[in-house]
Structure 1
Amino acid sequence: MPFKKLIHSIKDTLKFKGYDTPLPLQKKILSKIKGGTSMFCIAPEGAGKTTSIIISVVQKLKGEAFEDAPRALIFVKDKEAALDLKLEFDAYTKKTDLRVYCAYEEHNIELQREELYLGTDIVIATPKRLNRIFFLNGINLNKLQMCIVDDAEFLFRNNNFAEVTRTPESIGNCQYLVFSTTYDARFDRWRESFMYHAEVIKSV
């Protein structure tokens, strides 16, 4: 998908950052993501995976806030990763009214529940904290359109794989995107349980 087909706020940010044309990975995946394809995106560091996530989410949500429940959920490994990703999102959402919220263990959970209740469009969360908030009825996942895992290598430490696997049990029809540097055989379980017909896109 050429950058010219994106909404203006994204194009303006890309231009400001000096990105004139999509990277090879982005040429492969952006149009597929826009079309609703679930996928495992396997590519090395520096291939443009994180920027692809941000572009795809902001584009999918049309740069517009809507009601209170989040429409995009992104799993990350820890607080630092959540805050770093939010900073990247902030650059692309500053000309929109999209609301981005981070949920992680180091923050008071009751305060997080209250803040989420006020409404958000995009949630960036660690798996354990997201599940704890959910089981305390602190977040509504019924409106999710996109469920994403960034830098998915972390899934195979500290029971994170099992934590993320719980989420699809609580939501309806949704697009799933997993970004990683390698494809782990354990991902086959997701393809059999909820990521039906997911494509595996590899880039070097």
Structure 2
Amino acid sequence: MTKTTPNLIIFDCDGVLVDSVMAHCEVLSANFAKYGLEISPIDCRDKLGAGKMSEIGNAAQKLGASLPDHWLDEIYYEIFTRLEQGVPLIDGIEDALKQIKAEQIKICVASNGSRKKMEIMLGASGLLSHFDEYIYSAHDVGVWKPDPGLFLHAAGQMREDVSECIVIEDSPTGALAAKRADMKCLGYAADTNANDLISHGATKFLSMREIPKLVGI
């Protein structure tokens, strides 16, 4: 019988495992207001992107924010404090993870966020135990999506060839990173412009309950 399932599924974190994107953007919006930039949480999401926090700060400054030298420490403290209050799971993700693990398919997380941030969110939501120690942060690796390096690092650490990997992403930045890594990407488009994901080669889907079928289970 021809094998149809991947050996490894690499999950993004924010917006894929936990519904944390708007909580994150609400903190940014409130913080920027203190420094002269009135921008809504939705505009934070759509205009500032999902890259390095330093790059988000630079983008905010171009829009008029006057950020202090200690801004990175401040914003990380505010974000972590908010996330410790808890964020909801993405609907259907826990059942999808259970079905994937039942098939003995490896899973890991690869995110532009810090490891501490991921551990806070996944710990509070109960998902951390699904991934054991297989959590990879751009902060530790030193490369941020859309650079493919984070996904390539994750595949290397999990000892899998890129041809045996599938990436689950919700952002164009992540979909582009997967494309550059020569990995198949499933693009979760429930809260994202599907065309932005498709333009980078992702296969659109709208519910986490679709994942098992999409990966060949």
Q: Same fold (TM over 0.5)?
A: no
Q: Shorter-chain TM-score: which interval?
A: 0.3 to 0.5
**Bigger Rg over Cα:** 2
TM-score between the two structures when normalised by the length of structure 2: 0.37
TM-score w.r.t. the length of structure 1 is 0.38
Structure with bigger RCO (C-alpha 8 Å, 6+ apart) = 1
